[in-house]
């Protein structure tokens, strides 16, 4: 899971938006400030042109090994298109029938209920910590459509209002998301199965900031005070 916020990416200007929820996959490149080699490799896998190059690598290799076949291979674009299509639609994505078998409808609805409950709890804590009182917050969970590779999940907190935007999140707020959304009961892979079944890869859970209770705001202030004292 990657938490996307103006202070967690190398290209914050790309996060500017005129409306929320802002869709990220297929529109902007996510360049996290802190990510290991595995995370960067997974991000690269979602770049379509790079996947095409990987799919066509056998043709390039064949031309390198058997130079006399270079011209005939180069004259076979239909085979290349077919190979790319097989990789994209059969290897990396399940068929329509396969999507229906990933998870049953009842389990999918239970998973979405769990996500909504956890998302609202996280939004409540974040709104209380930041002292947001009037606007509507959105917790947006977006996943890559690629099925047979590790899930790539982007999570952001977005604000609707006169100035729609993605919120910057400090370490404690990022921990609220990373610790509170997924666990053994609902994993990122579970959510991907649900999304593949329903062919919907962006989940948006909203919360009116004015609905955050005084108790939650007091608890947030006490938590912040304890964190400052610990430092």
Residue 180: the pLDDT is 95
The reply to whether 167 and 225 lie within a common domain is yes
In which band, very low, low, confident or very high, does the pLDDT at 224 lie, cut at 50, 70 and 90? confident
Burial class of 209 by CB neighbour count within 10 A (0 to 12, 13 to 18, 19+): buried
For residue 72, being part of any structural domain is answered with yes
For residue 16, being part of any structural domain is answered with no
The reply to whether 222 and 122 lie within a common domain is yes
Q: What percent of the chain has pLDDT over 90?
A: 55
Residue 231: the pLDDT is 60
pLDDT higher than 90, residue 227: no
pLDDT higher than 70, residue 6: yes
Residue 166: the pLDDT is 96
Q: Which residue has the higher pLDDT, 96 or 139?
A: 139
33, 68, 92 - which closes a domain: 92
* Average pLDDT estimate for 102-118: 96
The reply to whether 157 and 215 lie within a common domain is yes
Domain count of the chain?
2
For residue 172, being part of any structural domain is answered with yes
The reply to whether 86 and 135 lie within a common domain is no
The reply to whether 60 and 156 lie within a common domain is no
Neighbours of 131 (CB within 10 A): 11
The reply to whether 26 and 82 lie within a common domain is no
For residue 38, being part of any structural domain is answered with yes
For residue 15, being part of any structural domain is answered with no
Q: Which residue has the higher pLDDT, 15 or 48?
A: 15
Residues 149-203 pLDDT 10s:
899 999 999 999 888 999 999 999 999 999 999 999 999 999 999 999 999 999 9
- First-to-last CA distance in the chain? 27
pLDDT higher than 70, residue 83: yes
The reply to whether 40 and 55 lie within a common domain is no
Residue 159: the pLDDT is 95
Query: Of 3-7, 28-32, 42-46, which one has max mean pLDDT?
Result: 3-7
For residue 14, being part of any structural domain is answered with no
The reply to whether 164 and 217 lie within a common domain is yes
User: Which stretch of 139-148, 190-199, 207-216 has the lowest confidence by average pLDDT?
Assistant: 207-216
Domain extent, residue 51, equals 47-92
For residue 59, being part of any structural domain is answered with yes
* Average pLDDT estimate for 73-82: 74
The reply to whether 57 and 111 lie within a common domain is no
Q: What is the 3-state secondary structure (H, E, C) of the chain?
A: CEECCCCCECCHHHHCCCCCCCCCCCCCCCCECCCCHHHHHHHHHCCHHHHHHHHCHHHHHHHHHCHHHHHHHHCCHHHHHHHHHHHHHHHCCCCHHHHHHHCCHHHHHHHHHHHHHHHHHHHHHHHHHHCCCCCEEEEEEEECCCCCCCCCEEEEEEEECCCCEECCCCHHHHHHHHHHCCCCCCCHHHHHHHHHHHCCCEEEEEEEHHHCCHHHHHHHHHHHHHHHHHC
Predicted TM-score (pTM) of this structure: 0.86
The reply to whether 222 and 149 lie within a common domain is yes
Mean pLDDT across the chain: 89
């Amino acid at each position: 899971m990657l938490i996307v916020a103006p202070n967690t990416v190398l290209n914050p200007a790309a996060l500017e938006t005129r409306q929320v929820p802002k869709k990220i996959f297929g529109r902007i490149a996510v360049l996290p400030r802190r990510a290991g080699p595995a995370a960067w490799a997974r991000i690269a896998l979602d770049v379509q042109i790079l996947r095409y190059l990987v799919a066509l690598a056998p043709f390039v290799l064949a031309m390198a090994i058997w130079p006399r076949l270079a011209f005939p291979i180069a004259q076979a674009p239909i085979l290349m298109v077919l190979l790319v299509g097989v990789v994209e639609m059969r290897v990396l994505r399940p068929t329509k029938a396969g999507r229906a078998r990933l998870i049953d409808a009842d389990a999918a609805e239970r998973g979405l209920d769990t996500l909504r409950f956890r998302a609202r709890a996280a939004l409540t804590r974040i709104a209380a910590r930041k002292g947001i009182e009037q606007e509507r917050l959105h917790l947006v969970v977006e996943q890559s459509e690629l099925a047979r590779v590790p899930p790539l999940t982007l999570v952001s907190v977005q604000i609707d209002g006169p100035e729609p935007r993605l919120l910057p999140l400090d370490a404690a707020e990022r921990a609220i998301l990373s610790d509170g959304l997924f666990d053994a009961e609902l994993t990122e892979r579970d959510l991907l199965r649900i999304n593949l079944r329903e062919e919907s890869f962006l989940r948006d859970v909203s919360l009116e900031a004015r609905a955050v209770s005084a108790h939650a705001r007091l608890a947030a202030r006490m938590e912040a005070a304890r964190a400052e004292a610990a430092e």
